[in-house]
Structure 1
Amino acid sequence: MSILVLGLLIFLGMHSLRMVAPTWRERQRARLGEKRWKALFAVVSLVGFVLLCYGFGMARRHAVLLYVPPLWLQHLNALFTLVAFVLVAAARIPRNHLKAAVGHPQVLGVKVWAFGHLLAAGGLHDVVLFGAFLLWSVALFAVSRRRDRQAGVTYPAGTLAGDLKVAVVGALAWAVFAFWLHRVLIGVDPMAGMH
């Protein structure tokens, strides 16, 4: 569990700098230059991500069960995850109504993904991982929206074409992950109980 926590601290810590230490972050970017800062950010984030994945796998082998969610919550998580994939797609595809409305759909997608997984999985390692991501995404979303309001940021208006692209890309990415990649990468078939 300690490796999982360390990985979360490193990964989420790097992704929280703009929220908790924006002045320090900007000084480092100016001192190192944009390319070196991005490289450092990527390397440290990757180390954190590898540690949290490894730590999660280790903790899963010695699971401490906190609660047993009913099967319908696991099914509901599939819907939460589909919504999360669509929100992440909305962050990348220009001129869609989701991006125009919420400004930070990827962070909102992480929030939805983490909440759904907390409903569907009751191990201590699950609560630590998904709970940490949920708390982080709630805080980051609130800070990002407040920063947008203070700076008067507006996002381009959405279009039907943008919305359709978001829906198709998000749904296809979700299907590939749900029906194949989740089992390959994580060792759990999220659709096993739905066949």
Structure 2
Amino acid sequence: MLVLILGLLIFLGMHSVRIFADDWRTATLAHLGEKPWKGAYSLVSLVGFVLIVWGYGLARQQPVVLWQPPVMMKHLNSLFTLAAFTLIVAAYVPRNHFKAKLRHPMVLGVKLWAFGHLLATAKLADLVLFGAFLLWAILCYRAARRRDRALGTTGAAGAMGGTLVTLVVGVVAWAAFAFWAHAAWIGIAPFGRTL
């Protein structure tokens, strides 16, 4: 569990710089330059991500079951995850209505993904992993919206073409992950047997 927690602290800590130390980030970015900052950011994030994956795998070898969620929560989680995939795709597709309306769809996608998994899973490692991501997403979204208001930031208007591309890519990515990649990479098949 310690490896998982260390990974979360490193990964989410790096992704929380704009939440808790935006002025420091701005000054450091100006001092180092964009490429060195992004390089350091990516390297630290990668180290944290590897530790999360490794730590979660270790924690799953000796699971601590906290409760037994109802089966319907797994189905509800599938819907949350479908919406999460769509919102994450919306962060990258230009001129879609999700991004125009919500402003920070990726963070909202992470929030839905984490919340859905908290409903559907019941082990201590799950609570630590998904709880940490949910807390981060709540704080990140609040900070981002506060920055938007302070700067008077507005986004591009959404268009039907961008919205349709977002929906199609989001659903296809979700289906590929739910019916194949989740079992292959994580060992749990959301709609079938667990590996």
Q: CA RMSD in A?
A: 0.9
Aligned mates of 1:169, 1:6 — CA distance in 2: 33
Aligned equivalents of 1:30, 1:129: Cα separation in 2: 33
The answer for the alignment partner of 1:162 in structure 2 is 162
Aligned residues: 193
Residue 31 of structure 1: how far off its partner (Å): 2.0
Matches within 5 A, 1:123-162: 123-162=123-162
Note the C-alpha offset of 1:23.
1.4
Gaps of 5+ in 2: none
Normalization by structure 2: what TM-score?
A: 0.97
Instruction: Report the more deviating stretch, 20-29 or 136-145.
Output: 20-29
Give 2:57's aligned residue. 57
Q: Secondary structure at the match of 1:68?
A: coil
Q: CA deviation at 1:102?
A: 0.9
Structure 1's unaligned 5+ residue stretches are none
Cα deviation code 1:79-113 (max 9, x no counterpart): 11000000001110011111011100000000000
Matches of 1:54 and 1:71, distance apart in 2: 28
CA deviations 1:5-26 (Å, max 9, x no partner) are: 0000000000000110111112
1:136-174 residue CA offsets vs partner (Å, 9 max, x unmatched): 000110110111011111111111111100100000000
Partner amino acid, structure 2, of 1:53: V
2:191 maps to 1:191: yes
Residue matched to 1:172: 172
- CA distance in structure 2 between the partners assigned to 1:24 and 1:186 by the alignment: 37
Q: Distance in 2 between matches of 1:30 and 1:96?
A: 31
Counterpart in the other structure of 2:31: 31
Q: Aligned AA for 2:26? A: E
